[in-house]
């Protein structure tokens, strides 16, 4: 017995919040399509509840036998805009209700895939799905939605960007929680296990298990031991820690896939924070040597962190995928909230950080009076960063009706709480009203 | 199946006796054991062999939790693979 290694593992789990953040089962719904939406919904319900029947049970078994917490058990499905397009329904609320019902019966935490991919334009179902979003987000509990508005290969669909600003605004008027379940992407990935942006891509196998690991607390703790050392040592320490964290994800994914009889897809190498003390990405950046997250040097520290996590994780698992990088949500990270409250972190700095990290402007509360066009313009900026840099970017902003800068909004649970952040008050309306398509960048033409 | 049983807590009389008596009752074999006192904390690791067909892991974990409470220590059992997976390729 190698007692030191056993102690290290126990310490990571018990004291440093090491966990497997999610086991997500991807399920294709392409074989459920029917021009009669009732028939399609019946097939969808049956397929999901059959394929994922044992998902939660197997997750619990693994937690008990291996003593590693698995925080979420989730399902992702084929984008519903594709599945529902054959029907003549005026909206797709019925499909969302079906997903919600299946998720509740199975006891999973979320189901993702109420999604549309519109980076180049709308097919029959896309606009209907998008316009169903305010009702779906307000009246279902577990359904997560995403819309991909841009990609490096095809450019940015500015009509969709304009539409999404309005939709986010409308959704916020129904419930302040609605937009926590909606992500607007550029370069969305097809095997993402993380919510709210998970969907099961059409190029994927029929059913697949994807795993998302976490462990900001473990990384921070490892860095506490190398105070004052050079950045090379910081990078090496993060790599070694990420390796161990990822091995845990690989093991859990392999076992889950065997027990469920479903192929193992990918491990998503992400550092996903929670509001718990010591489970913060911001605090890793501060441990690297920043007095407060958001100050000068934050982007450089985050770039190093993001890259080192990938380098460490990539050797530790058979297939890497999903978003794979550090998440920087504001409300879900105690250190980010502190940064905002102290005045050190603002939206402009967060936007810069998204150029070098995994996703984008995530879980950011903004004043309820923010115009739809300003929200669209925030989406356009993020999409531009993603498009030009060949990476995934996303926007999950939360206009909070009746609240303004300096006030706080409580989401509860893993979603935490957020200070309402200031946005630039100068108008972007005339640009957003132009619509059209921002052409794909020159470096996308690689063939 | 092989599992690692860890017992951590404030040192006192009867911890080893209590744990090994429980394991003997359950017909669980101890194949290796290591025990130290770190900063006044009793730390014991045991490699045990659990017969799959006889034992429900969930029930075993719960019983060990209860035993831990009686003895004033924390007892956890985890399958061995998790330790191997994390530290070697």
* Structural domains of chain A ordered from first start: 20-186 (3.20.70.20)
Mean pLDDT of B16-40: 91
In this prediction, residue A251 carries a pLDDT of: 94
- Can you give the CATH number for the domain in which B74 is found? 3.30.70.260
Distance from CA of A244 to the nearest CA of B (A): 5
Instruction: Render pLDDT for A170-200 as a digit per residue (tens, 0 to 9).
Output: 999 999 999 999 999 999 999 999 999 999 9
B31 touches chain A (CB under 8 A): no
Q: Beta strand A361-367 with A393-400: parallel, antiparallel or unpaired?
A: parallel
Mean pLDDT of A150-160: 97
| Percent of chain A residues topping a pLDDT of 70 | 100
A9 touches chain B (CB under 8 A): yes
In this prediction, residue B38 carries a pLDDT of: 79
Predicted ipTM?
0.87
CB < 8 Å to B50, chain A = none
In this prediction, residue A362 carries a pLDDT of: 94
Q: How many CA atoms lie within 13 A of A52 on its CB side?
A: 35
Q: Are A271 and A16 in contact (CB under 8 A)?
A: no
The chain-wide mean pLDDT, for chain B, equals: 90
Q: Of A142-146, A369-373, B32-36, which gets the smallest average pLDDT?
A: B32-36
Q: Are A73 and A110 in contact (CB under 8 A)?
A: no
Domain that holds residue B64: 2-87
CB < 8 Å to A1, chain B = 4, 32, 34, 45, 47
A97 touches chain B (CB under 8 A): no
Look up the pTM and report it: 0.93
Could you give the number of structural domains in chain B? 1
Q: Of A133-137, A262-266, A275-279, A346-350, which gets the smallest average pLDDT?
A: A275-279
**Cα→Cα distances A345→A9, A246, A292, A306, A376, Å:** 34, 30, 8, 19, 22
Residues in Cβ contact with B15 at an 8 Å cutoff, skipping those fewer than 6 apart: B7, B9, B42, B44, B71, B73
Q: How far is CA B20 from the centre of its chain?
A: 9
pLDDT exceeds cutoff 70 at A1: no
Distance from CA of B14 to the nearest CA of A (A): 22
pLDDT exceeds cutoff 90 at A387: yes
The chain-wide mean pLDDT, for chain A, equals: 95
Mapped onto helix, strand or coil, the DSSP state of residue A408 is: strand
In this prediction, residue B84 carries a pLDDT of: 87
pLDDT exceeds cutoff 70 at B85: yes
In this prediction, residue A447 carries a pLDDT of: 86
Q: What is the length of chain B?
A: 89
pLDDT band at A144 (very low <50, low <70, confident <90, very high): very high
Tell me if B79 and A65 make a contact (CB, 8 A cut-off): yes
CB < 8 Å to A6, chain B = 4, 6, 45, 83
Tell me if A64 and B58 make a contact (CB, 8 A cut-off): yes
Q: Are A267 and A319 in contact (CB under 8 A)?
A: yes
CB < 8 Å to B37, chain A = none
A242 touches chain B (CB under 8 A): no
Using alpha carbons, select from B67, B79, B88 the residue that is nearest to residue B18: B67
Which range scores top for mean pLDDT: A371-385, B25-39, B68-82?
Answer: A371-385
B55 touches chain A (CB under 8 A): no
Instruction: Render pLDDT for A34-90 as a digit per residue (tens, 0 to 9).
Output: 999 999 999 999 999 999 999 999 999 999 999 999 999 999 999 999 999 999 999
Nearest CA in chain B to A6: B83
H-assigned helices in B1-89: 15-25, 57-71, 81-87
CB < 8 Å to B43, chain A = 7
**Cα→Cα distances B28→A27, A257, A347, B50, Å:** 40, 28, 57, 5
Distance of alpha carbon A415 from alpha carbon A72, whole angstroms: 13
Using alpha carbons, select from A249, A227, A193, A233 the residue that is nearest to residue A12: A249
Question: What is A142-183 written as a DSSP string?
Answer: SEEEEEEEEETTTEEEHHHHHHHHHHHHHHHHH-TTGGGGEE
């Amino acid at each position: 017995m190698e007692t030191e290694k056993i102690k290290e593992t126990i310490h990571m789990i018990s004291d440093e919040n090491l966990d497997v953040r999610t086991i997500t089962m991807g399920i294709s719904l392409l074989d459920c399509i029917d021009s009669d939406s009732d028939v399609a919904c019946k097939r969808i319900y049956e397929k999901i509840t059959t394929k994922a029947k044992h998902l939660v049970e197997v997750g619990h078994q693994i937690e008990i036998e291996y003593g590693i917490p698995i925080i979420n058990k989730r399902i992702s499905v084929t984008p519903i805009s594709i599945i529902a397009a054959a029907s003549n329904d005026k909206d797709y609320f019925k499909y969302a209700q079906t997903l919600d019902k299946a998720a509740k019966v199975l006891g999973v935490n979320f189901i993702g895939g109420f999604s549309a991919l519109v980076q180049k334009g709308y097919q029959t179902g896309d606009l209907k799905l998008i316009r169903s979003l305010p009702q779906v987000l307000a009246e279902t509990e577990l359904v997560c939605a995403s819309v991909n508005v841009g990609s490096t290969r095809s450019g940015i669909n500015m009509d969709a960007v304009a539409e999404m600003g309005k939709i986010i605004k409308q959704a916020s008027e129904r419930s302040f929680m609605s937009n926590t379940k909606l992500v607007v992407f550029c370069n969305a990935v097809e095997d993402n296990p993380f919510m709210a942006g998970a969907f099961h891509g059409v190029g994927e196998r029929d059913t697949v298990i994807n795993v998302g690991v976490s462990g900001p607390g473990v990384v921070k703790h490892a860095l506490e031991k190398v105070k004052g050392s050079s950045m090379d040592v910081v990078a090496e320490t993060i790599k070694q820690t990420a390796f161990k964290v990822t091995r845990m994800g690989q093991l859990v994914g392999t076992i889950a896939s065997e027990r469920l009889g479903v192929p193992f897809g990918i491990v998503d190498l992400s550092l996903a924070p929670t509001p718990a003390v010591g489970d913060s990405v911001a605090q890793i950046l501060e441990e690297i040597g920043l007095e407060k997250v958001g100050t000068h040097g934050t982007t450089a520290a985050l770039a190093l962190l993001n890259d080192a996590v990938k380098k460490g994780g990539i050797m530790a698992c058979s297939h890497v995928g999903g978003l794979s990088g550090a998440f920087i949500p504001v409300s879900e990270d105690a250190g980010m909230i502190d940064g905002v409250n102290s005045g050190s972190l603002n939206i402009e700095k967060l936007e810069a950080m998204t150029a070098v990290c995994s996703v984008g402007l995530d879980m950011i509360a903004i004043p309820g009076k923010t115009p739809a066009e300003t929200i669209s313009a925030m989406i356009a900026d993020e999409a531009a960063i993603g498009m030009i840099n060949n990476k995934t970017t996303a926007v999950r902003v939360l206009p909070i009706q009746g609240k303004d800068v300096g006030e706080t909004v409580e989401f509860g649970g893993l979603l935490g709480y957020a200070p309402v952040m200031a946005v630039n008050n100068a108008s972007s309306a005339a640009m957003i009203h132009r619509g059209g398509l921002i052409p794909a960048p020159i470096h996308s033409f690689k063939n | 199946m092989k599992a690692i049983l860890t017992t951590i807590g404030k040192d006192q009389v009867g911890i080893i006796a209590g744990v090994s008596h429980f394991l003997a009752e359950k017909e669980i074999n101890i194949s290796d054991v290591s025990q130290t006192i770190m900063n006044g904390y009793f730390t014991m690791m045991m490699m045990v062999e659990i017969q799959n067909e006889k034992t429900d892991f969930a029930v075993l974990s719960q019983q060990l939790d209860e035993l831990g409470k009686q003895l004033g220590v924390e007892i956890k059992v985890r399958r061995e693979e998790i330790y191997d997976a994390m530290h070697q390729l």
